[in-house]
Amino acid sequence: MSIENVTTVLSGDEPGGIAEAEASGGWLWLRSFTANRLAVAGLVVVVVLTLFSFLGPLFYHTDQIHTRIGMETLAPGPGRPLGTDDVGYDQLGRLMVAGQTTLEVAFGAAAVAVLVGVAWGAVAGYLGGFVDALMMRIVDALLAIPALLLLLYLATVFRPNVLMLIVVVGLTAWLVPARLVRAEALTLRSREYVLAAKTMGVRTPTLIVRHIVTNSIGTIVVNATFQVADAILVVAALSFLGLGIAPPATNWGAMLSNGLNYSYSGYWWLVYPPGIAIVITVVAFNLIGDGLRDAFGLDTRRQ
Amino acid sequence: MVVVLLVTIIVFGLSRLLPGGPARAILGTHATPTNIAAFNRENGLTGPLPAQYWHWLTGVLTGNFGFSYVLNQPVSSLLAERLPKTAFLAGVSVVLAVLVAVPVGLYQAVRRGRADDYAVTTVTFVLYSTPAFWVALLLIDILSVRLHVFPAEAPQGSFSAIFSDPGAMVLPVLTITLVTIAAFSRYVRSSVLDELAQDYVRMARSKGTTRRAILLRHVLRNALSPVVTLLGLSLPFILSGTLITEEVFNYPGIGLLAYNAATQQDYPVLLGVVLVVGIATVVGSLLADIAYALLDPRVQLASDAGAGR
C-alpha cells in the first residue's frame, strides 16, 4: 500500500521526542484507516471505477453521440464485450460515459452539500444564541421535507443538466453536515484555545475557519464520503422518475432504469452492468466512510 | 411550532420559484397579461409578498390548499383521499422493518466480528446500496413474474380495497421494509455496541446477571431509545422510498399523486403534498422526542428540549 508508505515516511522522518509523538498522532488515523481492509478495498474500487470512467474512453473508442439503427440490443459478442443498448450505443463505452456523469454529479453534489453545510453549521454553532436557534430551525424545517419530493419539484422547474443536478442535489443534502458541524462547533467554541484566540482579537470569520472548521475536519470528511454515496442513489432515483439528464448524456441510474424496461426481453446486459456499478460504488463509498469514521474515532451513531 | 411555520414559508417560497410566477405556470405560456392579472386578483397574488403569504396561509389553515387544474379537484380532497393510503403503506412497512431490524442488529452486535456478523452486514450493505426501484423490480421479477405468488400491481380504488386484496400489498410493503431494514439494522448494531461498552454492563455482569438478562433488560432498552429518535428523523427518508415504491406498483398514495403532479406540472398538488408531508414529519419527530423522554428517564423534556434536535 502506497499510503502506508507515506505514513511511515512522514512519521519516521520526524526527529524524535515530542515532535514524533505529535506527527504520529496526527497521522494515526491514516494508519488506522489502511489497517481496515474493507475500507482500503472500497478506496481501490473507487479509484478503479474512476479510472475506468475517465481514462477508459481513451483506450476503448466508441460513438456515444449517434444512435445506430439496426444495431440495437445486440448480445455481447466480438467487438462489443457488453453488447449494445436499445438505440445501438456500445454498452461498455456507455458505461464509461455514464460513469463520468455519475461520479461528477456525486462528487459535485457532495462538495456543494458539505461546503454549504459546514459554513452554516459552523456559524450557527459558534455564534450560538438566537442566531443559532433560528438557523437550526430552518434546517429542521427543510429536513422535514423529503429530499426526493423537493427534487421532484425542483427538477420540474429547472431542466436538469449536470451542473443543475449538482446544485439541486447538493442543496437538498447540506442539512446533515450542517447539524453535525454545528454540534462540533458548540463544544469547540468554549475550548481554551478558541477563547484565547478570541481574546487576542482574532476576527470571527478567521476564527470559525481556522479553529472551528479545521477541528471538525474528521466529521466533515466522513460525512462527505457518505454524501457521495447518497448522491449516487438520489440521482439514480431521479433518473428512474424520468427527471434525470437528457440523452445522449446519461448516468448509471438512467442506464439501469432504461434497461429495466427490457428486463422481460432477456437483455440482461442492459440491466446488470449499470446496476452492479451503482451498487459496488455506493458500497465502496460507505466502506470508506465507515473506515474513516473508525479511524477518526468518531461516535458511530452520530453520522 | 416555529418549524411548522418555517415549513409553510418554504413551501410558499417554492411556489415563487416557478418561472413567471404561479399564474403563468397554471394558465400556460399563452396566457394574456389580462388573464394573469385576473388570476392573481382572484387568488390573492397581488400586493407585497408578506401579504400574499398571509392570504395563502389563512387559506391553508381553513383547509384551502389550492385547486388542481389538471385533475379539476380541490387539492385538499385529493390529499384527504390519498394520505391514509400512504400512511398505511409506510406505517406497516416501518413496523415490520423495526421488528426485523432490532433483533438482527442485536444479534450482530453480540456476534461482532464473527462470520455471521459479516454475512449479515454484507447483505444489509448491498441492500442499502441498491436503488429502491431496482429492489422493487427484482421482487416483481422473482415473486410475481417467475413464481406467480403475488401480483405486481398494488390494490387500486378506495382505502378498503387494501383489505379486500392483502396479497397485492405484499410486494410494496416488502420493498419499503427491505430498504428500511438495511438502514435500521446498521444503526441498531452500532447502538447496541455502544451500550455494551458501558460501565453498567460490566457492573451487571460482575454481580452475576446472566448474559440474556443483561441484553434484554438493560442493553436493549437503552439502545432502543435512540432508535425511536431515528424513526422520527427518518420519516422523510421513508417517504422518499414510498414515493418510488408507489410509482413502481401504481399504488394510489400521495407519492404517486406527487409524481403525477410533477410530470403534468400540476404545481398546486405537488406543493400541497410537500406541505402536508413536511408538517407530518415535524409532528412525527416531536412525537419521537416525547417517546424518547418516556423511554429514557435520563432525558428531561426541559424548555430547551427542542434545541438539542
- Same-domain pairing of A23 and A40: no
Contacts of residue B146, defined as CB under 8 A and 6 or more positions apart, other chains included, come to none
Residue matched to cell numbers 412525527: B284
Q: Which long-range contacts (CB under 8 A, 24 or more apart) does B17-24 make?
A: B17/A154, B17/A157, B18/A157, B18/B267, B19/A157, B21/B45, B22/B267
Give the per-residue SS3 of chain B.
Answer: CHHHHHHHHHHHHHHHCCCCHHHHHHHCCCCCHHHHHHHHHHCCCCCCHHHHHHHHHHHHHCCCCCEECCCCEEHHHHHHHHHHHHHHHHHHHHHHHHHHHHHHHHHHHHCCCCHHHHHHHHHHHHHHHCCHHHHHHHHHHHHHHHCCCCCCCCCCCCCCHHHHCHHHHHHHHHHHHHHHHHHHHHHHHHHHHHHHCCHHHHHHHHCCCCHHHHHHHHHHHHHHHHHHHHHHHCHHHHHHHHHHHHHHHCCCCHHHHHHHHHHCCCHHHHHHHHHHHHHHHHHHHHHHHHHHHHHCCCCCCCCCHHHHC
CB contact under 8 A, B191 and A299: no
Within a domain: B281:
no
Residue A23: the pLDDT is 45
Lowest model confidence (mean pLDDT) among A168-177, B99-108, B186-195: B186-195
Within a domain: A173:
yes
CB contact under 8 A, B278 and A144: yes
Q: If we measure between CA atoms, which residue out of B279, B26, B91 comes closest to residue A149?
A: B279
Find chain B residues with C-beta within 8 A of A137's C-beta.
2-3, 6
Confidence of residue B24 (pLDDT cuts 50, 70, 90): low
User: For testing the chain B interface, which of A38, A143, A182 should be mutated: the one with the most B CBs within 10 Å?
Assistant: A143
Residue A4: the pLDDT is 32
Quick one: cell of A219? 466529521
Q: Which domain holds residue B102?
A: 82-266+287-308
User: For testing the chain B interface, which of A301, A302, A303 should be mutated: the one with the most B CBs within 10 Å?
Assistant: A301
CB contact under 8 A, B3 and A240: no
Backbone angles phi, psi at A77, to 5 degrees: -165, -170
- How many whole angstroms separate alpha carbon A26 and alpha carbon A5? 15
- Same-domain pairing of A216 and A102: yes
Closest partner residue to B133 (CB to CB) among A243, A257, A301 is: A257
Q: Is the dihedral of CA A110, A111, A115, A116 positive or negative?
A: negative
- Same-domain pairing of A92 and A230: yes
**Nearest 5°: CA angle at B90, between A277 and B269?**
90
Within a domain: A300:
no
* A296 has a pLDDT exceeding 80: no
- Same-domain pairing of B50 and B106: no
CB contact under 8 A, B133 and A260: yes
- Same-domain pairing of B54 and B164: no
- How far B192 CA lies from chain A's nearest CA (Å)? 10
Confidence of residue B240 (pLDDT cuts 50, 70, 90): confident
Q: How far is CA B200 from the centre of its chain?
A: 35
Residue matched to cell numbers 407585497: B48
Lowest model confidence (mean pLDDT) among B17-26, B61-70, B165-174: B17-26
Within a domain: B143:
yes
Residue A14: the pLDDT is 35
Amino acid at site B102: V
Confidence of residue A73 (pLDDT cuts 50, 70, 90): low
- Same-domain pairing of B57 and B86: no
- Same-domain pairing of B99 and B35: no
CB contact under 8 A, B278 and A264: no
Q: Is the dihedral of CA A73, A76, A82, A83 positive or negative?
A: negative
- Same-domain pairing of B116 and B229: yes
Average pLDDT, integer, range A271-296: 85
Length of chain B: 309
CB-CB neighbours of B303 under 10 Å: 7
Q: Which domain holds residue A16?
A: 1-28
- How far B280 CA lies from chain A's nearest CA (Å)? 8
Contact by Cβ (8 Å): B234, A125: no
- How many whole angstroms separate alpha carbon A187 and alpha carbon A210? 15
- How many whole angstroms separate alpha carbon A46 and alpha carbon A56? 14
Q: Is the dihedral of CA A226, A229, A232, A233 positive or negative?
A: negative
CB contact under 8 A, A148 and B243: yes
The chain A residue lying nearest B184, using CA atoms, is: A301
Closest partner residue to B265 (CB to CB) among A142, A156, A264 is: A156
CB contact under 8 A, B244 and A282: no
Residue-averaged pLDDT of chain B? 77
Quick one: cell of A180? 453535525
Confidence of residue A249 (pLDDT cuts 50, 70, 90): confident
- How far A139 CA lies from chain B's nearest CA (Å)? 9
Find chain B residues with C-beta within 8 A of A152's C-beta.
243, 258-259, 262, 270
- How far B121 CA lies from chain A's nearest CA (Å)? 11
- Same-domain pairing of A14 and A52: no
- Same-domain pairing of A17 and A99: no
Backbone angles phi, psi at B9, to 5 degrees: -65, -40
What is the interface size between A and B, counted as CB pairs within 8 Å?
138
- Same-domain pairing of B131 and B198: yes
CATH code (residue A251): 1.10.3720.10
CB contact under 8 A, B130 and A263: no
Q: If we measure between CA atoms, which residue out of B56, B26, B4 comes closest to residue B268?
A: B26
Q: If we measure between CA atoms, which residue out of A25, A27, A26 comes closest to residue A6?
A: A27
Residue A301: the pLDDT is 46
Domain final residue pick, B61, B94, B111: B61
- Same-domain pairing of A125 and A261: yes
Which one of A169-183, A239-253, A266-280 scores highest in mean pLDDT? A169-183
Residue B303: the pLDDT is 42
- Same-domain pairing of B54 and B22: yes
Phi-psi region of A242 (alpha: psi -120 to 50; beta: other; left: phi over 0): left
Contact by Cβ (8 Å): A217, A184: no
- Same-domain pairing of B125 and B41: no
- Same-domain pairing of B26 and B151: no
- Same-domain pairing of B189 and B148: yes
- How many whole angstroms separate alpha carbon A300 and alpha carbon A292? 11
Quick one: cell of B230? 431515528
- How far A149 CA lies from chain B's nearest CA (Å)? 7
User: For testing the chain A interface, which of B5, B130, B270 should be mutated: the one with the most A CBs within 10 Å?
Assistant: B130
Residue A155: the pLDDT is 75
User: For testing the chain A interface, which of B24, B134, B184 should be mutated: the one with the most A CBs within 10 Å?
Assistant: B134
User: For testing the chain A interface, which of B6, B12, B108, B193 should be mutated: the one with the most A CBs within 10 Å?
Assistant: B6
- Same-domain pairing of B253 and B134: yes
Q: Mind giving me the DSSP string for chain A?
A: -HHHHHHHHHHHHS-STHHHHHHHHHHHHHHHHHH-HHHHHHHHHHHHHHHHHHHHHHHS----SS--TT-TTPPSBTTBTT-B-TTS-BHHHHHHHHHHHHHHHHHHHHHHHHHHHHHHHHHHHHH-HHHHHHHHHHHHHHHTS-HHHHHHHHHHHS---HHHHHHHHHHHHTHHHHHHHHHHHHHHTTSHHHHHHHHTT--HHHHIIIIIIHHTHHHHHHHHHHHHHHHHHHHHHHHHTT-SPPTT---HHHHHHHHHTTGGGT-HHHHHHHHHHHHHHHHHHHHHHHHHHHHHT--GGG-
Q: How many domains does chain A have?
A: 2
- How far A155 CA lies from chain B's nearest CA (Å)? 9
Find chain A residues with C-beta within 8 A of B14's C-beta.
150, 153
Closest partner residue to A153 (CB to CB) among B137, B240, B270 is: B270
* B309 has a pLDDT exceeding 80: no
CB contact under 8 A, A133 and B307: yes
- How far B207 CA lies from chain A's nearest CA (Å)? 29
Closest partner residue to B134 (CB to CB) among A144, A152, A256 is: A256
- How far B94 CA lies from chain A's nearest CA (Å)? 16
The chain B residue lying nearest A156, using CA atoms, is: B262
Percent of chain B having pLDDT more than 90? 0
* B205 has a pLDDT exceeding 60: yes
Within a domain: A78:
yes
Residue-averaged pLDDT of chain A? 77
- Same-domain pairing of B223 and B296: yes
* A2 has a pLDDT exceeding 50: no
Find chain A residues with C-beta within 8 A of B243's C-beta.
146, 148-149, 152
- How far A192 CA lies from chain B's nearest CA (Å)? 23
Within a domain: B273:
no
Quick one: cell of B124? 444489509
Residue A19: the pLDDT is 39
Find chain B residues with C-beta within 8 A of A253's C-beta.
131
- Same-domain pairing of A3 and A135: no
CB contact under 8 A, A301 and B190: yes
Q: If we measure between CA atoms, which residue out of A147, A164, A66, A45 comes closest to residue A112?
A: A164
Percent of chain A having pLDDT more than 90? 3
**Nearest 5°: CA angle at A232, between A229 and A236?**
145
CB contact under 8 A, B19 and A146: no
Which one of A141-150, B32-41, B203-212 scores highest in mean pLDDT? A141-150
ipTM of the complex: 0.80
Residue A116: the pLDDT is 92
Q: How many domains does chain B have?
A: 2
- Same-domain pairing of A248 and A126: yes
- Same-domain pairing of A2 and A132: no
Average pLDDT, integer, range A250-265: 79
- Same-domain pairing of A23 and A138: no
Cis status, amide bond into A248, omega within 30 of 0: yes
**Nearest 5°: CA angle at A144, between A118 and B55?**
115
CB contact under 8 A, A147 and B240: yes
